[in-house]
Structure 1
Amino acid sequence: MPDYEVLQVESQTGDVVASLPVTGITYSEVLNEAGSASVAMPLDEADPATLQPAQSALVVVRDGEPVWGGPVWTTSADLAAGTLTLNASGWFSYYKACYLASVGVSGGAIPKPVLRGYKGRKDRALMIRDWLEAANDNGGIGTDVAEIFTWRKIRSREWGFSEFKNTAEAITELADEEDGFNFSFDTVWRGTDRVRNVFRHYPRLSAKFPTLTHLKNAEISRVDYDGSRLAHRAFVFGADMGTGSKPYQVAHNPINAPTLTQVATFSDLKRTSELTPKAKALALVGKRVIAMPTLTLYPEFGALSDFRPGRYGFVKASSGYVRLSDDYVITERAVSVNENGSELVSLALASKEVFQNDGA
């Protein structure tokens, strides 16, 4: 069995405060999302002076290496049971409460906030670096941006202060384009008593996981099929230009179904060129019915790192209506560890076609 430890750290600095005496661990990672973690500990062993929502973060360590990290957002004290439950979300959740609005201070005798949004035309990776560095400079969580590399994908974005653009939303919109990418906020050691969160991004479908076969090395508990997003036509509209008209783009699919149309609006995008990859992404999702298996890995599954969200691989199952024999992408990995240290790993997956890039 792997050896687990849960650390309490400072959200802003990553300094380790304590190793927590937890009685159970559950944590999940979600593709291009924050994921979550929940642990329980004895109520009388929690220090209210240092363990507080937002101020504190959790880091889950497996065999000496961090595998999950993020701020604690809520706690729940059960006085009858004598337990305290800590609920955290991944580092990315911080950026859902971070905005491209008020940054820095102006000069002069009485400094005051500089109220501004963001305006830039550059490689999309450099935009993300701008946004994360702005947060770091203004009381953020010290996200390491050293591993950001350029894609040669030039994008234009402009938001005024009054639009108060959410940083997490801005990053997700870039990732979700037709030629998008996957990203994560990973936790790594920074010395022996401090951790840091690192922003990493990588091409879709760039790493595989080993073949999974129902009742051989995994147990598939359910398969959901979703046809609600099928689209012959995918329309994407931008901002109202003040004249009653909006820029738009449309993409098409040849599918075997009654005529179906999907529509999305991005009220902060002002140019047709900015809408093109959005329309293609919406059409890509609407090409076919999406199969979404949920499964549990058998104990001898191998390396946990082989099954990170974003990896894809072959999944096989045959049971009545279910006929799986294709490539699927991991969209979520959930891990639970009981009091005895036994580990259970579950995966949620979706059809690979949804994630394929068809253009530049």
Structure 2
Amino acid sequence: MPDFEVLQVEAKTGDVVGSLPVTGIQYGEALNAAGSATVGMPLDAADPDTLVPGRTALVVLRNGEPDWGGPVWTATADLVQGTLTLNASGWHSYYAGRVMHDGYKGAKDQALLLTDWYRACNDEGGIDTDTSQLTTTGRVRTRAWTKYELKTVADAISELAEEDGGFFLRYETYWRAPGRIGNRVLKGSGKGFPFALTHRVSCDVSDVRYDASALATRVYAVGADNGNGTRLVGIADNQLDIPVKQVVTTFSDVKSTTVLVDKARAIAAAGRAPVAIPSLTLYPGLFTPSDFTPGDSGAVQIDSGYVRVLDDFVVTERKTDIDVNGTEMTSLSLANKELFVSGD
């Protein structure tokens, strides 16, 4: 059984304040999003002078190595039960509170755009996100916002990741030095599963949700106002054997038709087929949580009545629960791999 520990950390510096006496841990990561963690602890074991939402971060150690980290944003004190519940989000959540107050304009490789944005935040009192693992891909993208738009960095990053020719984005928490935690941003296409996940062999599939709401024979990505009552539009089509179904999405701060076409293509890629979304729990002891990070993909096999699945899926969310006895349970949410195959 793995050993778990939760560290209280200064979000700005990464300095470890101490170890928390937790009574339960739940944490997880989400594809191109922040993920979250919830930790319970005795009320009288918390120091109100140092454990402060917005200032404090939590780091979950698994066998001494960081497995998750992020800032604490809310805390609930239950005076009847004598418990304190800490709610944290992954490092990406911090960038929802950073804006491009001077505006931004650039036409660069995706990785260089990201580096610019993270560096600007790091230089002005940020959380010192390491960008050294970002590598160029040759995919040049154009971005332009005025200082009056106050574009949030989190939105800029997520939109870049999710458009046509985008990437999977995640954060890694690591030991920067003894007693000091760091966080780094990674992008890529994910890795393969250790082996196929089979219902009632290596996992239990609790449910499979089917969703055709995103199907689209034509996608319109509507951009900024040209100033004369017209708007820029990017269009992408799917050849599907269904009744005509059109999807319109507005990106009011996008001022480039090329960018809008990229966004339309990404939406069209997600609308090529109905989505099958399995949720499953891994059998304990067969895997470690890091075997399945958001963006990883592999085969899933289910043969149970109406549900007959043998296909490749991408992990969109991973959650790990540790109870008071230290028992670890990891659950995954997945989506068809075809949804992530863009026009590029």
Question: Where does residue 144 of structure 1 map in the other structure?
Answer: 130
**Structure 1 residue 219 corresponds to structure 2 residue 212:** no
- 1:210 touches 1:306 (CA, 8 Å); kept in 2? no
2:118 paired residue number: 132
C-alpha deviations, 1:175-211, integer Å up to 9, x for none?
Answer: 1111110111110001220010101111x25433420
Query: Could you list the per-position Cα deviations for residues 291-324 of structure 1 after superposition, in whole angstroms to 9, with x for gaps in the alignment?
Result: 0000000113223221111110100111111111
Q: Measured at CA, do residues 200 and 314 of structure 1 come closer, stay the same or move farther in structure 2, by a change above 3 Å? A: same
What is the CA-CA distance between 1:38 and the residue it aligns to?
0.6
State the one-letter code of the partner of 2:4: Y
Write the distance in 2 (CA, Å) between the matches of 1:329 and 1:240.
Answer: 36
> Which residue of 2 is the match for residue 37 of structure 1?
37
| Residues in 2 aligned to 1:336 and 1:205: alpha-carbon distance in whole angstroms | 23
For the residue of structure 2 that corresponds to 1:52, the secondary structure is: coil
Matched, 1:274 2:259: yes
Mapped to 1, the partners of 2:221 and 2:120 lie a distance apart of 30
Q: Name the aligned partner's letter for residue 330 of structure 1.
A: V
Question: Where do 4+ consecutive residues of structure 1 move more than 6 Å?
Answer: none
Question: What is the CA–CA distance in structure 2 between the aligned matches of 1:71 and 1:229, rounded to whole Å?
Answer: 33
Distance 1:358 1:270 in 2: 21
Residue ranges of structure 2 left out of the alignment (5+ in a row): none
Deviations 1:50-73 (A, max 9, x none): 000010000000011100000000
Aligned partner of residue 163 in structure 1, secondary structure:
coil
Q: CA deviation at 1:269?
A: 1.2
Structure 1 residues 17 and 130: alpha-carbon distance in aligned structure 2, compared to 1, 3 A threshold: same
Query: In 1, Cα distance between the equivalents of 2:190 and 2:133?
Result: 19
Q: Which amino acid aligns with 1:36?
A: S
- 1:58-97 map, 5 Å: 58-97=58-97
Q: Does structure 1 residue 191 correspond to structure 2 residue 177?
A: yes
- Check whether the contact 2:208–2:276 (CA below 8 A) recurs between aligned residues: yes
1:127-159 alpha-carbon deviations (Å, 9 max, x no partner): 111111111111111111111111111111111
Map of 1:122 onto structure 2: 108
Structure 1 residues 4 and 85, CA gap change in structure 2 (3 angstroms):
same
Q: Give the aligned partner of residue 50 of structure 2.
A: 50
SS of 2:137's equivalent?
A: coil
- Say if 1:124 and 1:174, in contact at 8 Å, map to a contact too: yes
Q: 1:355 aligns to what?
A: 340
Deviation of residue 238 (structure 1)?
1.1
Q: Aligned-pair distance for 1:228?
A: 0.3
Letter in 1 for 2:11: S
Maintained 8 Å contact 2:207/2:280: yes
Question: Secondary structure at the residue paired with 1:174?
Answer: helix
Superposed counterparts of 1:1-360, under 5 Å: 1-101=1-101, 116-202=102-188, 204-359=189-344
1:128 counterpart letter in structure 2: L
TM-score when normalising by structure 1? 0.94
2: CA distance, partners of 1:122 / 1:216: 47
Residues of 1 paired with 2:242 and 2:190: CA distance? 28
Is contact 1:31–1:332 with CA below 8 Å preserved after alignment? yes
Please tell me the residue identity of whatever aligns with 1:26.
Q
TM-score between both structures, scaled by the size of structure 2: 0.98
Residues 118 and 158 in structure 1, CA contact (< 8 A), matched pair in contact too: yes
Aligned-partner residue type, residue 249 of structure 1: G
- Deviations along 1:90-117, whole A, 9 cap, x unmatched? 000000111111xxxxxxxxxxxxxx21
Q: CA RMSD in A?
A: 1.0
Instruction: Work out the CA distance in 1 between the residues paired with 2:283 and 2:317.
Output: 17
The answer on whether the counterparts of 1:213 and 1:317 sit within 8 Å (CA) in structure 2 is yes
1:205–1:355 CA contact under 8 A, matched in 2: no
Contact 1:205 1:356 in 2 (8 A): no
**2: distance between equivalents of 1:151 and 1:177?**
15
Distance 1:72 1:313 in 2: 33
Asked whether the equivalents of residues 265 and 342 of structure 2 are also in contact (C-alpha less than 8 Å), the reply is no
Letter in 2 for 1:7: L
Q: Equivalent pairs: percent with the same residue?
A: 51
CA–CA distance in structure 1, aligned partners of residues 194 and 273 of structure 2: 23
Quick one: distance in 2 between partners of 1:341 and 1:270?
52
Aligned residues: 344
Contact 2:191-2:296 within 8 A present in 1 as well: yes
